Structure 1
Amino acid sequence: MTHPGEITRRQLLRRIGFTAFVAGPGAGLLSACATAGTGAAPAPAPSTSLAASADPKNPFGVDAKKPLEVVIFSGGYTDAYAKEVHEELYKKAYAGVTIKHNATQQIGTQLRPRFVAGDVPDVLNNSGPESMDLTALAAEGHLADLTPLFDAPSIDDPAVRVRDTLTPAVLENARVNGMNLVLNYTVSHRALWYNAKLFASKGWTAPKTWAEFTALGDEAKKEGIVLFAYPGQKGPYYQLWNILYTAAKIGGNQAIIDIDNLVDGVWTADPMRQAVTAWAEIQAKYGDKAYFGLDHTQTQVKQLQNQVLFYPVGSWIENEMAKDIPDDFEYAIAPIPDVTANDAMPYGAIQVGVGENFVVAAKGKNPQGGLEYLRIMLSKEGARGFTEKTKNLTVVNGAAEGVELPAGLVSAAKAQDSAGQNIITEARFEGWYKELFDYGTEQTNRVMAGRITPEQFCTAMQKKADDIKQDESIAKQSRS
Structure 2
Amino acid sequence: MDRLSRRGLLQGAAGVAAAGALGGCAMGGDDATNGDAKGTTSANNPLGVKEDAPLEVVIFNGGFGEEYAKAHEALYRGRYPKAEIKHSATQQIAETLQPRFVAGDPPDVIDNSGGSQIDFNGLVSQGALTDLGELLDAPSLDDPGKKVRDTLLPGIVDVGSYDGKFLTVNYAYSAYGIWYSKKLFDAKGWEYPTTWDGMIALCRTIKAAGIAPWTYTGVHARYMSWPILTAAAKLGGIEVIKAIDNLEPNAWKHDAVRTAADAYYQLAVDGFLQPGAEGMDHIQSQTEWCRGHAAFISCGSWLENEQKSVTPPGFDMAVAPTPSLGTSDKLPFGAFRGTGSEPFIVPAKGKNVRGGMEYLRIMLSKKAAADFTTRVSSLTAVTGAADGLSLGPGLTSVTKLIDASQGSAFTWLYSTYYRKLERERVNAASLELFTKRITASQWCDRVQKSADEFAKDPAIKKYKRA
What is residue 234 of structure 2 aligned with on the other side? Answer: 249
Distance, in Å, in 2 between the alignment partners of 1:361 and 1:453 is: 43
Q: Is the 8 A contact 2:37 2:354 kept in 1?
A: no
2:417 maps to 1:432? yes
Give secondary structure in 1 for the equivalent of 2:319. Answer: strand
- The answer to whether the 8 A contact 1:207-1:216 is kept is yes
Return the alpha-carbon distance in structure 1 between the equivalents of residues 164 and 336 of structure 2. Answer: 28
2:461 matches 1:461: no
Tell me if 1:388 matches 2:369: no
| Secondary structure, counterpart of 2:379 in structure 1 | coil
2:150 aligned with 1:143: no
Question: TM (normalized to structure 2)?
Answer: 0.91
Contact 1:262-1:469 at 8 Å conserved across structures: yes
Name which of structure 1's ranges 101-110 and 212-221 shifts more when overlaid on structure 2: 101-110
Which residue does 1:267 correspond to in 2? 252
Q: Distance in 1 between matches of 2:402 and 2:216?
A: 23
Residues 1:435 and 1:352: Cα distance change in structure 2 (over 3 Å): closer
Partner of 2:344: 358
The one-letter code of the counterpart of 1:22 is R
Match of 1:232, SS? coil
* Cα distance in 1, alignment partners of residues 36 and 100 from structure 2: 26
Q: Distance in 2 between matches of 1:292 and 1:413?
A: 31
**Distance in structure 2 (CA, Å) of the matches to 1:395 and 1:242:** 23
Residue 167 (structure 1) shift:
1.9
Identify the residue that residue 55 of structure 1 maps to in structure 2: 42
State the distance in 1 between where 2:31 and 2:68 align: 29
Q: Distance in 2 between matches of 1:100 and 1:427?
A: 35
Query: Could you tell me how far apart the structure 2 residues matched to 1:142 and 1:365 are?
Result: 13
Query: Which residue of 1 is the match for residue 84 of structure 2?
Result: 98
Kept in 1, the 8 Å contact 2:177–2:300? The answer is yes
The question of 1:74 aligning with 2:61 is answered yes
Residue equivalent to 2:332: 346
Match of 1:70, as an amino acid? V
Distance 1:114 1:242, change over 3 A: farther
**Contact 1:107 1:131 (8 Å CA) reproduced:** yes
Contact residue 138 and residue 177 of structure 1 kept, 8 A = no
Conservation of the 8 A alpha-carbon contact between 1:68 and 1:99: yes
Structure 1: gaps of 5 or more residues: 1-19
Query: Deviation string for 1:24-51 (max 9, x for gaps)?
Result: 99x964675444548x9x9435479999
Q: 1:129 to 1:430 in 2, by over 3 A?
A: same
Residue number in structure 1 paired with 2:267: 282
Residue 223 in 1 paired to residue 204 in 2?
no
Q: Per the alignment, do residues 426 and 37 of structure 1 end up closer, same or farther by CA in structure 2, a change over 3 Å counting? A: farther
- CA change 1:28–1:203 in 2 (3 A) is closer
Residue 140 of structure 2 is matched in structure 1 by 154
How far, CA to CA, are the matches of 2:358 and 2:8 in structure 1? Answer: 21
Q: Distance in 2 between matches of 1:21 and 1:376?
A: 27
2:191 is the counterpart of 1:210: no
| 1:252 CA drift (Å) | 1.4
Instruction: Provide Cα deviations, 1:240-278, integer angstroms capped at 9, x if missing partner.
Output: 222211211221111111100111111112111111111
Could you say which residue in structure 2 is the equivalent of 1:22? 3
1:352 counterpart SS class:
strand
How many residues are matched? 455
Distance 1:393 1:347 in 2: 22
Residues 5 and 402 in structure 2, CA contact (< 8 A), matched pair in contact too: no
Equivalence map 1:148-187=2 (5 Å): 148-187=134-173
| In structure 2, distance between residues paired with 1:316 and 1:246 | 21
Look up the equivalent residue of 2:240 and give its one-letter code: A
Counterpart CA distance in 1 for 2:22 and 2:83 is 35
Decide which of 10, 14, 30 is 1:44's aligned counterpart. 30
Q: 1:24 to 1:475 in 2, by over 3 A?
A: farther
Give the match's secondary structure for 1:72.
strand
- Residue 408 of structure 1 is matched in structure 2 by 394
Structure 2: segments with no counterpart, 5+ residues:
none
State the one-letter code of the partner of 1:434.
R
Contact 2:156 2:339 in 1 (8 A): no
The counterpart of 1:240, out of the listed 215, 222, 225, is 225
State the distance in 2 between where 1:466 and 1:196 align. 42
Distance, in Å, in 1 between the alignment partners of 2:68 and 2:131 is: 24
Q: Quote the offset at 1:217 in angstroms.
A: 1.1
User: What whole-Å deviation, never above 9, does each CA across 1:358-417 have from its counterpart, x for those lacking one?
Assistant: 110111121111111101101122111111211222122222232111122222222222
Fraction of identical pairs, as percent: 40
CA distance in 2, matches of 1:242, 1:268: 16
Partner Cα distance (1:398, 1:49) in 2: 34
Residue 267 of structure 1 aligns to a residue whose secondary structure is helix
The whole-number CA distance in structure 1 between the counterparts of 2:8 and 2:339 is 9
Once residues 5 and 313 of structure 2 are traced to their aligned partners in structure 1, the CA distance between those partners, rounded to angstroms, is 34
Q: TM-score, normalised by structure 1?
A: 0.89
Provide the residue aligned with 1:134 in structure 2: 120
Q: Is the 8 A contact 1:138 1:176 kept in 2?
A: yes
How has the CA–CA distance of structure 1 residues 232 and 28 changed in structure 2, closer, same or farther, with 3 Å as cutoff?
A: closer
Structure 1 residue matching 2:253: 3-state secondary structure: coil
Give the corresponding residue for 1:323: 309
1:419-475 deviation line (CA, Å, top 9, x unaligned)? 22432x211111111232221111111111111222221112111111211222211
Q: Distance in 1 between matches of 2:397 and 2:83?
A: 41
CA contact (8 A) 1:24 1:427 kept: no
Q: Judge which range, 216-225 or 102-111, deviates more.
A: 102-111
Which runs of structure 2 are paired with 1:82-121 in the superposition (5 Å)? Answer: 82-83=69-70, 85-121=71-107
Give the equivalent residue in structure 2 for 1:7. Answer: none
Matched, 1:452 2:438: yes
- Inter-CA distance 363–74: structure 2 relative to 1 (3 Å threshold): same
Structure 1 residues 339-348 or 117-126, which shifts more?
A: 339-348
Which digits, 9 at most, give the CA deviation of each residue in 1:18-76, with x for residues without a partner? xx962499x964675444548x9x94354799996331222233224332111111222
Indicate the SS of the match to 1:403: coil
